[in-house]
Amino acid sequence: MVHDSPERPTPAPKARRGSKSDLPQDDLTLDTSDVDPETSAAEEEDDARLPEASEDTVEVVAEGTLSIGHAAIENAVRLAPTSPGVYRMLNAANDVLYVGKAKNVKKRLSSYARANAPLPARILRMIAATTHVEIVSTMTETEALLLEANLIKQLRPRFNVQLRDDKSFPYILISGDHWAPQILKHRGAQSRPGRYFGPFANAGAVNRTITALQRAFLIRSCTDGFFESRSRPCLLYQIKRCAGPCTREIDFPGYSELVREATEFLSGRSHAVKELLAAEMEKASGELEFETAALYRDRLAALSAIQSQQGINPRTVEEADVFAIHQEGGYSCVEVFFFRTGQNWGNRAYFPKAEKSFTPEEVLSSFLAQFYDDKPPPKLILLSHEIEESALLADALSVKAGSKVEVSVPKRGEKKELIGHALTNAREALGRKLADTATQSRLLEGMVATLGLPRTPKRIEVYDNSHIQGTNAVGAMIVAGPDGFMKNQYRKFNIRSEGLTPGDDYGMMREVLERRFKRLLKPPEGEAAKAKENDKADDDSFPQWPDLVIIDGGRGQLNAVREIFENLGLTQVSLMAVAKGPERDAGRETLFMPDREAIKLEPRDPVLYFIQRLRDEAHRFVIGSHRKLRKKDIREAGLQEIPGIGPSRKRALLHHFGTLKEIERASIADLGKVPGVSAESARKIFEFFHAQPG
C-alpha cells in the first residue's frame, strides 16, 4: 500500500497472483481427480438473493465507477452459460478481486448486474472495481466448488475469505522399511513406507506423544545410519526410552511385539493394550519378578500420561474434526479439534481474513474447503453453525477422500458437548487475540508519542545480519504491524557482493537495504501497471511500504543507512537504530534517530520492551537463517573444513556416531571417547559446530 504522503516515492506494484494468463480459460471442463477441493467465501445458493445491506454497512461508491462495473458484468452476462461454472471478477490491472461459483453462472452474474439491488458495501466496492469477468464452465456444481476453492487458495482475492495459515499438519510415522521400525514426526508427502497416524494439531503435541510412546513401548527414534553404527546401546536405552534393538538387547520377535502394541494403541485400541500390560504386570509381580513388574508399571503410567495430555477423549466419536466459530470485535476465530481413533489429537485456533460483514456461516463455509485443500478429510465433520452448502461440501470432500464424508451440526449428546467445548476455546482464543491486538495498538501509539513519529506505523521493518568472520553472511528483515509479527512477510538475503571485506557490517546492510528498496522503487510499466498502483492505494491489505525501519546498531549504522536512503531518494521513511547497552544488558539500550539527541528510556518502559522484542525477533530470525546456510555448507564440505581433522579421524568419527548430524549433537566428552580423537581435537570439533555467529 502506498501511503498518503505525496513526497514518498511511488513503489512498483508487486505482482499479484491472479493474472488471467495463468488461469484456465472459458469452457474448460475439469477432471476432478486433479483438482484440490475448496469452497468459496460467502456464496449464497444459486437461486437466493444476495444479502441485503444494513444501514451501518452501506458506503457511498462513486456512481460513475459503479456504472462501469455494472456495464462490465452485464457484458459478461450476455456471454455467460446457464450451466455450472466459476467466475472471476478482475480490475483494470488483471488482479482477481473475487472468485465465485454458481449452478447457473448467467443467473448469478445477473444478480450482481442489477443497478438498484440493495447490496452490502463490500459487494458494491467489488462491483465498482470490476472491469471484466472471466468464466470457466464445469460439468457439475461439485466440480465448480472444487475449482472455486482451488483458485481462492491460489489467488487470495481480496473480497473472499482467506485462510492465512495453511501449513501442513504433522503426523507420527512408524516406519516400515527396516527390520527395527523407527518412530518419528513426519510432515509432507507420505511417501516413506510405514504407518501414519494423525493429523496432530501442532509439532508440540506430536513431540510429547512420541516421548510418551517411547517410554511406553521402547521404540527407537534414531536414524537408520546411527542405528547401524552402534556397538553399544545409546543413552535412550539407559534411561528406558528404547529397547536397544541396535545391539540386540532385545530380539526381533520381542521388538516386533512392542511395535505391534504401539500400532494398536495409536489405532484406537488403547484399552486393550492397557489391559494386556496390566495383566503382564500382575503376572510378573506374582512370580516375584519385581523389576519386570516395575517396567510394565512405568509403561502403563506413560500411556496414562498420553491420554491425560489429550484431554477429552469421546466415547462415541472415533474419527472426526470439530469446527467452532466465534466472532467479536470485527475478528473471526475458528477453533479446530482433531479426533482420531477415539483420541483427541490436539486443537488449533485460526483467524481467517474476512470483512466484518461476513456472517459466521459464510466464514465457516469458505474456511472449510480451504482447510482441506492439502489435508485428507475425516469421515465426520462437526460444525457449530449450519452452512448453506453443507451437502455440496460433503459431496466435494467425499470426492477428495474417496469415501463418504458427513458434514453435520449436532443437536444433542456427546457430539453437541464437543461443539460446546470447541466454542469455549474459540471464544477464549479470540479474547486473547483481541487483548493482544489492543496491547499492540497501545504500544504503537506509545512509540508515536515517545519517538515523535509522524503517524502510527502500520508496518515496521527490522533489519539485522549475521556471519562468522565474514563467512555464510546473511541479512534478514522481520515485519510487525497492528496484528503483531507478520511472519509471512519475513525475508532473508544471502549476501552476494564479492568485494565485501569479511565482517563489513555496513557493506552487508547496504546490500540488503538496496535490494529491498530498489524493488519497491522500480517504476510501474505501462497503463495497466499504473492502474494497479492506483488500485493498491485503496487496498485494505497489509502495506508494502514501511513507516519505520529499525536497525541493530548505533549512530554509525544509522548514518550509513540514512546515506543509503538519501541516495535512493527515500526521505519519508522514519529510521531508528537500537544500540545494545553496556555489556549488552537488556534495558539499557540507546535509541538513535536522525537529527536528534540519543534517547534513553527507562528499563521498564513498555515502549522499550516492545522495541527489544522487535530487535530480538530480528536477531532470532537472522541467526536461524545463518545456521541453516552454514549447516548446508558443512554438509556439502563434510568434516574436511575442521582444522586438524584428516581422513582417519573423519572415518573414526563417522564409524562411532553414524552421521554428521550426530557428530554435531555430541558433547566434548562424547567426542573425546572416539579412538584417535584427543581432548584438544574434541574441543575444536565441538567449537566448529557451535561457534556463535556475529
Question: Per the structure block, which three cell numbers stand in for 365?
Answer: 463455509
Question: Per the structure block, which three cell numbers stand in for 325?
Answer: 466459530
Question: Per the structure block, which three cell numbers stand in for 425?
Answer: 476455546
Cβ-contact 132, 321 below 8 angstroms:
no
Reply yes or no on whether the pLDDT at 54 is more than 50.
Answer: no
Q: Which amino acid is at 265?
A: F
Mean pLDDT for the stretch of residues 132-140: 88
Radius of gyration of the chain (CA): 30
Mean pLDDT for the stretch of residues 500-521: 77
Question: Residue 554: its pLDDT value, please?
Answer: 85
434: helix, coil or strand?
helix
Please indicate whether residue 269 or residue 615 has the higher confidence score (pLDDT). Answer: 615
Confidence class for position 39, pLDDT limits 50, 70, 90 = very low
Q: How many CA atoms lie within 13 A of 555 on its CB side?
A: 5
Question: Residue 539: its pLDDT value, please?
Answer: 41
Mean pLDDT for the stretch of residues 491-497: 77
Cβ-contact 411, 444 below 8 angstroms:
no
- Report whether CATH 3.30.420.340 matches the domain 460-629: yes
Which residue, among 164, 141, 162, 139, has the nearest Cα to 152 in the 3D structure? 162
Please indicate whether residue 350 or residue 18 has the higher confidence score (pLDDT). Answer: 350
For the beta sheet containing 380-383, the strands, ordered from the edge strand earlier in sequence to the opposite edge, are 343-350, 331-340, 320-328, 380-383, 406-408
% the chain with pLDDT above 70: 76
- Please spell the DSSP secondary structure of 62-96, one letter per residue: -HHHHHHHHHHHHHHHHH--SS-EEEEEE-TT--E
CATH fold of 642-690 reads DNA polymerase; domain 1 (1.10.150)
What does pTM read for this prediction?
Answer: 0.64
Reply yes or no on whether the pLDDT at 694 is more than 60.
Answer: no
Question: Residue 582: its pLDDT value, please?
Answer: 61
Q: What does the mean pLDDT of the chain come to? A: 76
Question: pLDDT tens-digit profile of 188-238?
Answer: 778 889 989 878 877 877 888 888 788 878 889 888 888 888 888 888 888
385: helix, coil or strand?
coil
In this structure, is the dihedral angle defined by the CA atoms of residues 558, 564, 565 and 566, taken in order, positive or negative? positive
Cβ-contact 137, 27 below 8 angstroms:
yes
Confidence class for position 419, pLDDT limits 50, 70, 90 = very high
Confidence class for position 5, pLDDT limits 50, 70, 90 = very low
Question: Residue 566: its pLDDT value, please?
Answer: 86
Mean pLDDT for the stretch of residues 348-360: 87
The domain 320-432: what is its CATH number? 3.30.420.340
559 vs 556: CA distance, rounded Å: 5
- List 344's β-bridge partners, or say none: 339
Omega of the bond leading into 199 within 30 degrees of 0 (cis): yes
Question: Residue 612: its pLDDT value, please?
Answer: 87
Residue 171 per-residue DSSP state: E
% the chain with pLDDT above 90: 9
In this structure, is the dihedral angle defined by the CA atoms of residues 602, 605, 611 and 613, taken in order, positive or negative? positive
Question: Residue 584: its pLDDT value, please?
Answer: 54
User: By mean pLDDT, which of 172-176, 242-246, 473-477, 653-657 is the weakest?
Assistant: 653-657
Mean pLDDT for the stretch of residues 139-158: 84
Which residue, among 544, 461, 474, 545, has the nearest Cα to 509 in the 3D structure? 474
Question: Residue 487: its pLDDT value, please?
Answer: 83
Mean pLDDT for the stretch of residues 385-389: 89
Cβ-contact 496, 639 below 8 angstroms:
no
Cβ-contact 217, 181 below 8 angstroms:
no
Residues of the chain with CATH 3.40.1440.10: 20-155
Cβ-contact 551, 557 below 8 angstroms:
yes
276 vs 273: CA distance, rounded Å: 5
List Cα–Cα distances, 243 to 220, 221, 235, 282, in angstroms. 7, 11, 11, 21
Out of 151-160, 265-274, 491-500, the most confident range is 151-160
Confidence class for position 336, pLDDT limits 50, 70, 90 = very high
Question: pLDDT tens-digit profile of 623-666?
Answer: 876 566 656 555 545 555 566 677 777 777 766 776 666 777 77
Please indicate whether residue 276 or residue 16 has the higher confidence score (pLDDT). Answer: 276
Question: Residue 326: its pLDDT value, please?
Answer: 93
77 vs 79: CA distance, rounded Å: 5
Question: Residue 364: its pLDDT value, please?
Answer: 92
Reply yes or no on whether the pLDDT at 8 is more than 50.
Answer: no
User: By mean pLDDT, which of 278-292, 415-429, 547-561, 625-639 is the weakest?
Assistant: 625-639
- CB count within 10 Å of CB 92 equals 17
Phi-psi domain of 40 (left: phi exceeds 0; alpha: psi -120 through 50; beta: other):
beta
Burial of 576 (0-12, 13-18, 19+ CB in 10 A): buried
Cβ-contact 66, 129 below 8 angstroms:
no
Mean pLDDT for the stretch of residues 599-623: 85
Reply yes or no on whether the pLDDT at 404 is more than 80.
Answer: yes
Question: Residue 527: its pLDDT value, please?
Answer: 42
CB within 8 A of 347, min separation 6: which ones?
201, 335, 336, 337, 338, 422, 425
Reply yes or no on whether the pLDDT at 536 is more than 50.
Answer: no
Reply yes or no on whether the pLDDT at 74 is more than 90.
Answer: no
Q: How many helices (H) and strands (E) does the chain have?
A: 21, 18
Question: Residue 407: its pLDDT value, please?
Answer: 92
Question: pLDDT tens-digit profile of 440-451?
Answer: 888 888 888 888
Reply yes or no on whether the pLDDT at 59 is more than 60.
Answer: no
Reply yes or no on whether the pLDDT at 11 is more than 70.
Answer: no
494 vs 349: CA distance, rounded Å: 34
Cβ-contact 379, 319 below 8 angstroms:
yes
Question: Residue 530: its pLDDT value, please?
Answer: 45
287 vs 85: CA distance, rounded Å: 72
214 vs 202: CA distance, rounded Å: 19
- Report whether CATH 3.40.50.2300 matches the domain 20-155: no
Please indicate whether residue 55 or residue 156 has the higher confidence score (pLDDT). Answer: 156
99: helix, coil or strand?
strand
Mean pLDDT for the stretch of residues 71-97: 89
Confidence class for position 382, pLDDT limits 50, 70, 90 = very high
Question: Residue 19: its pLDDT value, please?
Answer: 41
Please give the torsion angle defined by the CA atoms of residues 313, 315, 321 and 327, in that order, rounded to the nearest 10 degrees: -70
Question: Residue 32: its pLDDT value, please?
Answer: 30
30 vs 200: CA distance, rounded Å: 32
420: helix, coil or strand?
helix
CB within 8 A of 408, min separation 6: which ones?
380, 381, 382, 383, 390
Which residue, among 448, 457, 551, has the nearest Cα to 509 in the 3D structure? 551
Question: Residue 562: its pLDDT value, please?
Answer: 87
281 vs 274: CA distance, rounded Å: 10
Please indicate whether residue 49 or residue 647 has the higher confidence score (pLDDT). Answer: 647
Question: Residue 113: its pLDDT value, please?
Answer: 82
105 vs 390: CA distance, rounded Å: 20
- φ and ψ at residue 669, rounded to 5 degrees: -65, -40
Question: Residue 380: its pLDDT value, please?
Answer: 92
Question: Residue 43: its pLDDT value, please?
Answer: 35
Residues of the chain with CATH 3.30.420.340: 320-432, 460-629
- Please spell the DSSP secondary structure of 461-485, one letter per residue: EEEEEEEETTEEEEEEEEEEETTEE
Residue 20 per-residue DSSP state: G
Cβ-contact 197, 190 below 8 angstroms:
no
- φ and ψ at residue 333, rounded to 5 degrees: -125, 125
Question: pLDDT tens-digit profile of 248-259?
Answer: 888 898 899 889
